[in-house]
Chains A and B, each alone.
Chain A
Amino acid sequence: MRNLTTALIAACFAVAGLAPSSAATADGLQPFLREHCFKCHGPDKQKGDVRLDTLAPPADAKMHEMWKTVLEKITLGEMPPEEEPRPPRLEREHAIAALETALGGSGGFSAKDKLLLPGMGNYVDHATLFTEPAVRRAASPARLWRISPHIFKDFVNGLAAKPVLQAKRNQGGNGLHPALPFMTPAHTFRDAALPHAFEEATTELLVDIAWRVAGLQLAAKQGPAAFKVAQAAAPPGEAEYRAVIAAQFGLALLRDPEPAEVKNLTALALRTAADASPQEALQTVLSAVLLTPEAVFRHEIGQGKPDEHGRVPLSSREIGYALNYALRDEPPDARLRGAMGADRLATAATVHAEAARLVNLPLAAAPRVLRFFQEFFEYTRAPEVFKDALETKHYFPPQLVDDADRFVLHILAEDRDILARLLTDEQYFVFANGLPNRAPPEARARKTYLPIFSLPSDWNWTAQQPVKLPAPRAGLLMHPAWLLAFSDNEKNQAIQRGQWIRTHLLGGTVPDVPIGVNAQLPTDPLLTLREKMKVTRAEYCWRCHQRMDLLGLPLEQFDDFGRHRTQELDRPVVTTGEITIGDPQLDGAVTDPFDYMRRLAASARVRQVFVRHAFRYWLGRNETADDAPTLIDADRAYVAGGGSMKALIASLLTSDSFRYRRPPPAKPALASAPP
């Protein structure tokens, strides 16, 4: 205890800039440890074999690792555990600062950085995010956001004037180029700004596709005149190359090249013409423009003099791109390009007007809206789930996803009470695009697909959809696509369903499975899943499983193919559960999934958690305490709009978090750069 306390006190003094004699600081820290840590990790008890009162300073690797763990647990709010009293905010921040300083002196570590990682957003205190701060100063960090593979697909196909990249669903392809893989973890929005970059292998693939596209551009019949003129010249001279460079800038970057850019690229063309051939010189300069950082990273730097909070607004060009790619994959349309080029997006009013126009585009023209719901609810994973039961072959999982998409789009089109309806609507689409038009697939669909929706195999298909189903079912979490996505080969994934509900609707957290834990359920076929899950009630397991299991079990109303059931293993199916998130409006026993969804749909907290997720998706990052005004405004806009998704998105796109950037701290200038 003496070692730890001494080290912490020293660190604390360093943070506070106080002399070691300052008893006030030391007194402020010791009670924190005594009050919140030693009870379980002190002289009397060492839970998890962790004893903190005898912890030595972080001088060696083992101690450093232990200190990092302590800091991380406190920063993420995992310790003290939920059932223990929460430390006062200031006291907690004080301890975090002391620990960070101590670790900084021995290798550097910031647990706060972890909060920025995809999947860690819920560790930010919910109440803080919906409490009006004394000063509104929201901004995103100045950043480079790798373009998404969806944007790249449309970009490439547009330039090549042909579908170079295209989804081939029946072959498993999605048309997304491997040079731009998603690197985000499971259960998070895929196109986050932070984790995506190019490394050697993906850059090589990027060069290959750019080279190919440049070749197609030169071969296209309908291309810029400058390309034709240069190819007809024998050989092209500087003037022809300059015209080609200007044309490619206009096509790919929507701007004119700067003189230095023209000079460098012309030199590249002439050098390559000498080393290779004029045709390859043209292909080289076209490729060079496609690969310049501005073409593959969305620049969100900001411009102008920082305001009193150190923020700069995005330039007209930057915000034009940001608005466009918030909703669309295609490059900005003519109207937006005009506004970007004429610097007309420099004021809040013009940004509002353009945001309002874009959010009112037809949903087909704004594919990122549906994609938000697909990634949030994760039902598009249904076809990935492996099922080997013979009697359930050919159950059409891609069709289930299509029908779930239609369910979402139908609600979005009406744009009211979006979240509540997604959780409770009782009308569904079933083979909304029509049953298979050949006899054998239609017979299979009737035999396997319709029963999933509790429909008889001779159901008279109708184009008048959605339809009410014979057996009770409500909302997307009872849609077979969602249920299937959270099932495995043999059973429902009640634990994972509970985890999803906890993280995506309740805003809670679940730690990773601890190392060394054998996270497996019994396989006894005579036990129901609920009965098998009794093994998680062991004290060590239940600490985490109490956060998930009872949230997922009400959905046992449906089997692992999403079929409604009243019996399980010849016994009445049990659909009870419980919510314990610390919100009186939500907490309490759950009798069945229908009561459950109605309660979730009526909850202000669930709505706010939904808004937090929308923030992550449209801002491409996790929310921080500074973003509270953005979240408050977005939530208000959603409510004021009667549960309008358009109002929610528009609010986010016109927020300070969206429009302002905070430059990084100044760093020493580079020694030199190539001319």
Chain B
Amino acid sequence: MNELPPLARRRFLKGLTLGATGVALNPLLQRMALAADGQPAAPRFLFVVEGNGLPPLQVHPAGIPFVERAQRDKVAIHALRELTLPPALQPVAAFRDRLAIIQGLSGRMCGGGHSSDHGALGAYHANNGRHIQAATIDATLGQAFPGIFPSVTLGIASNPDEAVIFNCSADAPGRSLPTICQPHLAYARMFGSVAEGGARASFAAKRNLLDHLRGDVARVRQRLGGVDREKLDAYLSAYETLGGQSTRLVESRDRLKKSAPVASDKFMSTVETDRLDAHFELATAAMIGGLTNVATIASGVGFPYFNVTFTGLGIEQGKHPIGHDLYNTDSRAGWERSEKIRRFHFELIARFMTRLQTIPEGNGTMLDNTVVVYLSDAAETHHSRCFEWPMVVLGNVNARLRTDGRYVVLPDYGKPGHRTINTVYNTLLHAAGKPRDDFGKPDPNLDKTMHRGPLSELLV
């Protein structure tokens, strides 16, 4: 196929897609057609935010000494190919040539404590959700590259009964995005048209209902003049969005059937490993099916949600006491438990990457255009102070990131060359072709060069 001249290839692919699915383009062929057309497919981002802190030592590779924060005076970059990945990261060893581990970022402006909640992806002090200052990076990227859903946040919380919580993402100042904690609810939202099988009638009825409500709310809005206009605007906008989504989901039904995960028992499970597994499946399927380009997995993000007990891994202790074990007593058992839980997250990340690597896109695969960012909302430890905030980045967005198997250690807080988490988010926006140099809020105690612009050690 690559031997065809570009124009002919484009026509061929477009013809194929129309013939294959009628109105809706098959997402795979659509991606190939876009590439043939000279238009790159939208970049994709998966953020995996795990509560309870990420101790820097847990992402430190074997083979080089760990340098304590206070002793870091200059930027150090090591090639990971010569080093052994730490146990938690072993599951992504196959992707080490797309990996960057970044040590020494700070995020003091986020506040710290048990969690910086929205501040982790927003790079600001969210004050336990009371002061959501701006859109978080996932929502910002989702707004720049919207699918049927601009972005999707899925997660688990300590209480398995939680259905929807507001703890991690935000799409505007003061507007937290929901984290859907029940995989079956997320499944119904994204793949409901498939799940209902032959019951297309319900979809048609609901679409009529949404259309009617759009008009109904608009009428009330007009009658009430300016009374609480913003609330009615939001309600109206929700119906407009849902109506549009419903239409597009129905139109995409055939192709969604191909990417929808099998709705197994784990979608209704109360076991946290099952639910996390199901959420990763949903995020994978949503990206493959073209439902969204940005997904966030919020694994026990925020207080009090982070005290998840990973019984599915044979651990009977919640993450809160595990955090205390690590923080107060440097307990070996606590270390091994937290490492085991982290490793499980990276197993799911590896599965996500492997799956995307099997889907052709343009001249490569979907994985070539995808980035995974892993971090904790509690920065470096259980009671975080955010003097350092380790991050793991996988994928290179068509070679726009220097995730070439590197271990980057930045200078200590305030020292020349030190950078904040803002710079990673600036980097992602630059790599995505939406450059910004001022994402989030600055740390007032640092020189502006430390939070402005992309991270040169990460951006090509």
Give A residues with C-beta under 8 Å from B: 119, 142-144, 146, 168, 171-173, 178-179, 181, 183, 185-186, 197-205, 207-208, 211, 264-265, 268, 271-272, 275-277, 280-281, 283-284, 287-288, 291-294, 296-297, 301, 384, 386, 388, 489, 512-513, 515-516, 518-520, 523, 663-667, 669-670, 673-675
Contacts and interface: CB of A to CB of B under 8 A. Distances in A.
Contacts, number: 183
B417 interface: no
A171 to B, nearest CB: 6
B212 A144 contact: no
Interface string B203-217: 011101110111111
B1 interface: no
B320 interface: yes
A288 B212 contact: yes
Contacts of A386: 304, 307, 318, 320-321
Which of A203, A272, A277: most chain B Cβ within 10 A?
Answer: A203
Nearest to B153: A201
B160 A172 contact: yes
Interface in B180-233: 180, 185, 188-189, 201-202, 204-206, 208-210, 212-222, 224-232
A663 B130 contact: no
A443 B127 CA distance: 42
Interface residues of B, number: 72
B298 to A, nearest CB: 14
A560 to B, nearest CB: 14
Interface stretch (B236-244, B273-281, B391-399): B236-244
B443 interface: yes
A480 to B, nearest CB: 20
Contacts of B241: 200
Contacts of B166: 181, 183
Contacts of B210: 207
Given A202-B178, A293-B220, A523-B328, A281 B212 contact: no
A287 B328 CA distance: 54
Contact of B111 (A296, A515, A674): A515
Contacts of A516: 108-109, 443-445
B235 interface: yes
A144 B111 CA distance: 34
Contacts of B234: 197-199
B383 interface: yes
A172 B157 CA distance: 12
A291 B213 contact: yes
Contacts of A675: 215
Nearest first, the 7 closest Cβ-Cβ pairs linking A and B are A203-B238, A276-B201, A674-B215, A178-B164, A280-B205, A185-B130, A201-B178
A186 B128 contact: yes
A190 B84 CA distance: 51
B326 to A, nearest CB: 13
A512 B127 contact: yes
Contacts of B445: 516
A284 B205 contact: yes
B336 to A, nearest CB: 18
Nearest to A675: B215
A19 to B, nearest CB: 34
A515 B125 CA distance: 7
Contacts of A178: 163-164
Contacts of A198: 231, 234-235, 238
A148 B341 CA distance: 38
Contacts of B188: 208
A276 B202 contact: yes
Interface string B149-189: 00000000001110111100000000111101000010011
B60 interface: no
A173 B182 CA distance: 14
Given A207-B206, A670-B222, 20 more contacts: A142-B228, A143-B228, A144-B231, A186-B130, A197-B230, A198-B231, A204-B189, A208-B188, A268-B212, A272-B204, A276-B202, A276-B204, A276-B205, A293-B216, A293-B235, A301-B224, A516-B108, A516-B445, A674-B214, A674-B218
B120 to A, nearest CB: 15
B454 interface: no
B419 interface: no
A666 B226 contact: yes
B10 interface: no
B43 interface: no
B129 interface: yes
Contact of A674 (B201, B219, B238): B219
Contacts of B237: 199-200
Interface string B291-315: 0000000000000100100000000
B14 interface: no
A58 B324 CA distance: 47
B242 to A, nearest CB: 6
B385 interface: yes
A180 B311 CA distance: 30
A161 to B, nearest CB: 22
B212 A173 contact: no
